[in-house]
Structure 1
């Protein structure tokens, strides 16, 4: 998608790729050519025209289920219906918008992808989900019926849809689409503003009966929001599903997988927005801006976008300075990247690296420690424990909550900061050995060439002087000494020059000529330089009348050009070898010195954080155990209450039966009461009659 991001707007004017004779009025979109697409959409919606499941099945069949079960089926029906509508919209995008834009306005694939990113892959994913849901309905149909069905299980479908490779594709497609949402809308607005053909095209598309006036901005928004609609539907299905059943567990697992997928999509969008923000901040920096980091390295503007460097957090903080000249409030824009912390300042609507207090404003996260200021709940310390340029920075936040947020982000970045590339101990000798081997090969080549040149000069000298017993290997005045090779080479150059002048002087004297004043030579400095290089007593050698002095001059006079040819070259090869040896040693030392040393303060800080994490883990485990015990007690209490409720229910049933019996007896007594009253009345009348008769 990086190529899509780099695509610039190409206005679709009348004189663009579309032929000039093709005017806006000639755009003709026939609604009848979409009959096949319309039939496909109607086939998808078939069997789900009813607004709810309870209205889609027979009412007699509905009486077999409880209210909770009916509500569950209604939610599943709603899930399938919304999925049908979403698939319908994606098919319209590909079958109408993309097709017409490609064929009618000749829009290229990169522009289409910028307008509708990943829409074809999204259609495949949702079409697969819908097919599985509809297949589940077919398998749940009652035997001999075409409309009565009850879906008992969809949890396994949710788990399949939001796990494995399908979940990865879902995360990628929605991550790309949602992160490019703003760019797609802006691209659409640019087209509407700059292209009359595009305006006319959109009006005609929206007038199609199959489109139902569904415009591009609405489509982009609906596709972006679709994945966020699932959790509400899934939670409603879980609400009306029997607890502790396998279906309930599958639904809960599917919901967790869905939430994780949404979280990954949000992370992708956040990273995309932060990357765009980092590019924007980098473009606002001065082109030639550069500073040094706490490790002494040069940091330039383009380094902000180098490699996998990412923006993790940003904010404006008050940098409290300690120097007398810079005291006061100094607000800086702090950028927390994946490996460094940048301090920037805004000036004339441009950004520059902050230049305050003389401290580095690019702070490496390696060996960085965060400390809260004890006497100030809004301040924090940043301590750079780098051995190259250690230092401490104090920042003031706007609130204690913001300080906590910065501390957490910085600590997380420090823990995840990529370590500098380090070579294993066993790799170091091999690298140095290869370096030394290459130097030795070049030194050997130099020595071979110098030896060949010396041999040529010796042959030439033998031809001119008649001396044939010259052994070049015996005329090496120097041996390798790694103490001070550069100083030795300077001495050697001086000696060679003086020997050449001395040789010319002696030759002139032998020929009976007087040497000119410009060719004179100071024998004492020469003897000292020879003594420094060869180690013999130069003072004794140069005394007047000394045999050693006479012998030296004699040897020099005898060998003449041999000295000038034998002295410079082989010793130079020795010095080349010595310099190579020194370079190898320097490389070894630099490699050893560049290895990261253990920092006691940082290690203690990490140890302290580790201990703190252990304590938090122990507390968490203790709370978890306590929660588990409380849950067990709660379940036991719930079980006891359930048993009591069952006992009470049985007692109530018994009482209801007893009351029913009593009501029945009362009804019977009520029916017998008039008869008894009539009998009593008769008895009373008879009694009165008898009593009156007796009287």
Structure 2
């Protein structure tokens, strides 16, 4: 069996299940590009506790190696004859470099997901250190996520087996960036920030849970990375796709001679569409994560919400929102500001911008107080309502102070102007 045949026989099956010889893979330093883009889709940063830190070695994996943890991508040039290589233009060689990096890092990503599934998920499940809902927070659909990328990986290696010099890739990429990947990735990533915070806090107070994770992290597949450093792998991979596709497009467009060929034009159109779809998936997942974070924030605020003073009021707005449940609303943004009133001290407040209303809360320790504020003006005896419905709200800039703004409540029952100031102009804009 030739080196090429052996290489393909191993890759074509798409079987990257972990065994005692398998290690977590995550590098792309073998690319011919001078880009400092790391495997996680971000520009290279400090090699700390993340999968970026994995690719520190400079050992090239051979075709019989199961490990590409700290290796360069297998050079595609090894799979073609010397004559075929001589006949390729520098532009085509560059294009093949990018394709090889795309294929290699996808294989690495599948191994990362497999580490999460077979080392962490199964061990935590077996140890019964977490409740089902807590385990689901960390790994909501890890098996589905692994299966999705394993199929992508299989398709990429199928294309490589068809011809080591990969021709058109547009149709394959359009098939990859589909609804299934979008939905699965959104489910897996949307609560990941909460999951990372949960892991940190739980390890600090639960020695058994910490011991289970420590045991997992000692395995050489994890390369001394904590679970928190491996868990974000899917979000990082989604961020990487548009960057790789942009480089692939550039490698095609830079060949001025071939770019006028109709088949190349068609390929370019497909690549541009694939890049657009990859960005749409990334944006969709980012938005899902934002919505999940905002839902969690409203849940936390609701747990610490004190409405006793508000409920005792006879104001119409209090009767309308007497049993307010913030979790029934959608949070757009939140932040701290200060409420200024004539002849009254400044009051620090916490503003919730919901789709339906603006909520002005007063912080008191861990509590969020929903209460009316004295207006401070003899001309306005009615108190300031802590709730301004969106259909009665006007926003006015403060021409004197760039850090401030006015909220005007035009309600016929209780019209008022609220003078709010932020610490700086940036926070006011937020």
Picking from 395, 413, 435, the partner of 2:420 is: 395
Do residues 337 (structure 1) and 354 (structure 2) align? yes
Report how far residue 127 of structure 1 moved: 1.2
Partner of 2:367: 350
**Aligned residue in 2 for 1:88:** 111
The correspondence for 1:273, drawn from 285, 288, 293, is: 293
> What whole-Å deviation, never above 9, does each CA across 1:563-605 have from its counterpart, x for those lacking one?
xxxxxxxxxxxxxxxxxxxxxxxxxxxxxxxxxxxxxxxxxxx
For the Cα contact (< 8 Å) 2:194–2:293, is it kept in 1?
A: no
RMSD: 3.6
Distance 1:73 1:354, change over 3 A: farther
What is the SS of the residue equivalent to 1:195?
Answer: helix
- Counterparts of 1:245-644 in structure 2, within 5 Å, are 245-286=265-306, 288-290=308-310, 296-298=317-319, 303-307=324-328, 309-322=329-342, 325-326=343-344, 329-352=346-369, 353=371, 355-357=373-375, 358-400=383-425, 402-403=427-428, 405=429
Q: Separation in 2 of the partners of 1:277 and 1:130?
A: 37
Change (3 A) 1:175 1:156: farther
Residue 195 of structure 2 aligns with which residue? 181
SS state at 2:308 partner: coil
Q: 1:220 to 1:378 in 2, by over 3 A?
A: closer
Q: Is the 8 A contact 1:317 1:395 kept in 2?
A: yes
Q: After superposition, where does 1:120-131 map in structure 2 within 5 Å? A: 120-131=143-154
Q: CA deviation at 1:342?
A: 1.6
**Cα distance in 2, alignment partners of residues 98 and 204 from structure 1:** 13
Runs of 5+ unmatched residues, structure 1: 1-34, 142-148, 407-695
Match of 1:160 among 175, 180, 205: 175
Other-structure match for 1:225: 236
1:114 to partner: Cα distance: 3.3
Offset at residue 46 of structure 1 (A)? 9.0
Distance 2:108 2:171 in 1: 22
What does 1:125-140 correspond to in 2, within 5 Å? 125-139=148-162
Matched, 1:38 2:58: no
C-alpha distance in structure 2 between counterparts of 1:300 and 1:350, whole Å:
19
Q: What is the CA-CA distance between 1:119 and the residue it aligns to?
A: 0.9
Contact 1:293 1:360 in 2 (8 A): no
SS class of match (1:38): coil
User: Any idea what the Cα deviations from partners look like across 1:216-237, whole Å, max 9, x if unmatched?
Assistant: 3332133442222222222211
CA drift of 1:87 comes to 0.9
| Aligned match of 2:94 | 71
Partner residue of 1:194? 207
1:286–1:226 distance in 2 versus 1, CA, 3 Å: same
- Where do 5+ consecutive residues of structure 2 fail to align? 1-15, 26-60, 66-72, 254-258, 376-382
3-state DSSP of counterpart to 1:303: coil
State the shift of 1:302 in Å. Answer: 5.9
- C-alpha separation between the residues in 2 aligned to 1:133 and 1:393? 59
* Number of residue pairs matched by the alignment: 354
User: 2:250 is matched with which residue: 220, 232, 239?
Assistant: 239
| Structure 1 residue 312: Cα displacement | 1.5
Shift of 1:179: 4.0
TM-score normalised to structure 2 length: 0.70
Deviation at 1:47, TM superposition (A): 5.7
Q: Which has the higher helix share?
A: 1
The 8 Å contact of residues 294 and 362 in structure 1, kept in 2 or not, is answered as no
Superposition deviation, residue 402 in structure 1:
4.9
Is 1:54–1:74's contact at 8 Å kept on the other side of the alignment?
no
Task: Give 1:158 deviation, angstroms.
Answer: 2.4
Q: How far 1:174 sits from its partner (Å)?
A: 2.8
Following superposition, the deviation at residue 398 of structure 1 comes to 4.5
Q: In 2, distance between residues paired with 1:330 and 1:344?
A: 10
Q: Deviations over 1:101-133 (max 9, x none)?
A: 444658664443233232111112111211221
The offset of 1:318, in angstroms, is 3.3
Q: For 1:56-75, what per-residue CA distance to the aligned partner results, in whole angstroms no more than 9, with x for missing partners?
A: 43333211111121111111
Structure 2 vs 1, CA of residues 202 and 385 (structure 1 numbering), >3 Å: closer, same or farther? Answer: closer
Cα deviation for residue 86 of structure 1 reads 1.4
